[in-house]
Amino acid sequence: MLKKYDFIVVIAGSQTDRRYLHSINKFLENKVCQKSFCFLGHVNQLEMSEVFNIADCVVTPSLYEPFGMVNLQAAFLGKTVITTNIAGSVDVLRDYDNLVVVRPCSVEDIQDSLEKILSTNRKVTAQSFDFSQYLWVNVAKEMLNYMKY
C-alpha cells in the first residue's frame, strides 16, 4: 500500500473539465491530502522541464492521447514514465528501460507501479532515452527507402 511511503503527487494540467477540477479541489480540501498532493494547474510548456526535474516519476494515465509529448519530454530527462497503451508515444518509447505501461482506467496498475518504484527507492539515476533515431534527417532517409520502387 502506498501509505507507507513518503512522497508528494504533483498534478499539472489545464482545467478543461470543470467537474474534474471540482473533484481535485474537493479532494485537496482534506488536510491529510494537502500534505501529499499539490495541484499546479496549467504549466507553460517552457516551464515543464522544471516540473519534470523535481520528479522521480511522471504518470500520464491517458484515456485518449494521440501522441503523448509529455512522455517523450520525461523520457528525454531520464524519468520513469507510467502511462497507458492509449498514448501514441508508447510506440516511440517501446525500448525505453524506464517505461511502465498500465491498463487504461486501472488505479490498481498505477498504484502497483508506483509502489515498485518507491519500494526500490529508484531515483533520477536513469539514462535518458536516445532520440537520435528520430532525427528528421534519419526519418527522411528512411522514408525515401520506403518510397523507392
Tens digit of each residue's pLDDT (9 = 90 or more) over 70-110: 899 899 888 999 999 998 899 889 889 899 999 999 999 99
Which pTM was predicted? 0.77
Helix/strand/coil percentages in the chain, nearest 5: 45, 15, 40
Where residue 124 falls among pLDDT bands split at 50, 70, 90? very low
| pLDDT value of position 134 | 75
Q: Could you tell me which CATH class the domain 56-147 is placed in?
A: alpha beta
**CB distance 88 to 136 below 8 Å:** no
Q: In the predicted model, what is the mean pLDDT of residues 42-65?
A: 88
| pLDDT value of position 6 | 82
Instruction: Give the closest residue to 60 by CA, choosing from 113, 123, 21.
Output: 113
Return residue ranges of the chain for CATH 3.40.50.2000: 56-147
Q: Lowest mean pLDDT of 33-37, 64-68, 110-114, 121-125, name the range.
A: 121-125
| pLDDT value of position 149 | 61
At 26, which helix (H) or strand (E)? helix 18-28
Q: In the predicted model, what is the mean pLDDT of residues 59-73?
A: 87
80 versus 146: the higher-pLDDT residue is 80
| pLDDT value of position 141 | 83
| pLDDT value of position 26 | 87
Given a cut of 50, is residue 130 above it in pLDDT? yes
Q: In the predicted model, what is the mean pLDDT of residues 61-71?
A: 85
Q: Are strands 9-12 and 57-60 parallel, antiparallel or unpaired?
A: unpaired
The residues, any chain, with a CB within 8 Å of residue 76's CB and separated by 6 or more, are: 128, 129, 131
Residue-averaged pLDDT of the chain: 84
| pLDDT value of position 123 | 55
Is residue 50 classed exposed, middle or buried when 0-12, 13-18 and 19+ CB atoms within 10 A define those classes?
exposed
The residues, any chain, with a CB within 8 Å of residue 96's CB and separated by 6 or more, are: 75, 81, 129
